[in-house]
Structure 1
Amino acid sequence: MENISNVGEQVLNNKNNKILVMTGLMIGIIFSELDETVVNTAMPTIIRDLGGLSMYGWVAGIYMLALSAFMPILGKLADLFSRKKVYFASMGFFIGGSIICGLSHSMIMLLIGRGIQGLGAGGLMPLAMTISSDLFPIEQRAKVQAFMGPVMFIPMLLGPLMGGFFVDQASWHWIFFVNIPVGLIAVIFLASGLKETHERKK
């Protein structure tokens, strides 16, 4: 007996503003990657304030674990429903996790926030690649992805510098709070530039 199921198909029309969309995607990639490196510099100060030295490794570990676990799930949801909506939901989780981390008064609360951040980042990075591929014809995709590759190195360079700056000049809490306005800017760019419809087909 033949199996027939409904699948979603993303349709991006030609009214997309590619500059706005790519700017929003780049911001999302940079800051989701940045959260892997910026925390390392601030960890001695965080441990001094919150204690929990035995949980030191989990601050980075739980972020990567959640990111890796939810990446295929969110990618599949984006295929079934809408890339734009799932991307916005992922950014919402990332910002929500950043707020929890920034307000943390214990290591447990910080780890919960980091897990939620990782969940969001699990959608931001793969969907950025998928949406950028949808925007451009096949012959241009290699150039676009070649441009996006070096962007991954920016967080590696800026992370330790930003972590040290916030710890010295303000507070370690701000390494998380800074994600809030930046994430909202990325959402505004993407919402303004990306025009997407969604069709259900057999």
Structure 2
Amino acid sequence: MTAASGNKAGGDKIDWRALWVNGDLARFCFISLGILLHATNETMIATVMPAMVGDIAGVQFVGWSLAVYELGAIVAGAAAGRLVSFVALRTNMMAAALLYAAGALVCATAPSMPIFLAGRLVEGL
């Protein structure tokens, strides 16, 4: 293994400064932030779901709240590679952030479980 793959055996060290200079460190941090957002979203929803079900009912749809989000994320992930062929990556990322924010707003204001699930689908996308 080489230093680029993360193995420090044999005195090899990762050159973080070189990663910063060529822009790869910023990309790495951006991708890591996306992974963190996805993971914390799932954890947060699983934590607040019992209290939320008490407010808007729909206990039979609790499993769907995670499944619908994942479905949206899988569809968006599969489509992302093709979308960058037509639209710039920056534009795609801005659209994704706006879609996520819109989905979060729908979820936060949802008066019923079906509307909440629609918001979760939009968040996943």
Q: Which has the higher contact order (CA 8 A, sep 6+)?
A: 1
Q: Percent identity?
A: 25
Which position in structure 1 is the counterpart of 2:101? 95
1:26 CA displacement: 2.6
d(CA) in 1 for partners of 2:40 and 2:22? 27
1:89–1:16 distance in 2 versus 1, CA, 3 Å: farther
- What does residue range 3-42 of structure 1 map to in structure 2 within 5 Å? 17-42=23-48
**For residue 74 of structure 2, what is the aligned residue in structure 1?**
68
Cα deviations across residues 75-131 of structure 1 (Å, max 9, x unaligned)?
Answer: 210133211211111111111111111112211111111000010xxxxxxxxxxxx
Structure 1 residues 24 and 103: CA distance shift in structure 2, 3 A:
same
**Residue 104 (str. 1) matches residue 113 (str. 2):** no
Q: TM-score of the superposition, structure 2-length normalised?
A: 0.73
**Unaligned ranges ≥5, structure 2:** 1-20
Partner of 1:86: 92
Give 3-state SS (helix, strand or coil) of 1:105's partner.
Answer: coil
Please list every run of 5 or more consecutive structure 1 residues that lacks an aligned counterpart in the other structure: 1-14, 120-202
What CA distance in whole angstroms lies between the structure 2 residues aligned with 1:70 and 1:19?
Answer: 24
Residue identity matched to 1:118: G
The ranges of structure 1 where at least 4 consecutive aligned residues each deviate by more than 4 angstroms after the TM superposition are: 15-21
Superposition TM-score, scaled by structure 1 size: 0.47
CA RMSD of aligned residues (A): 2.0
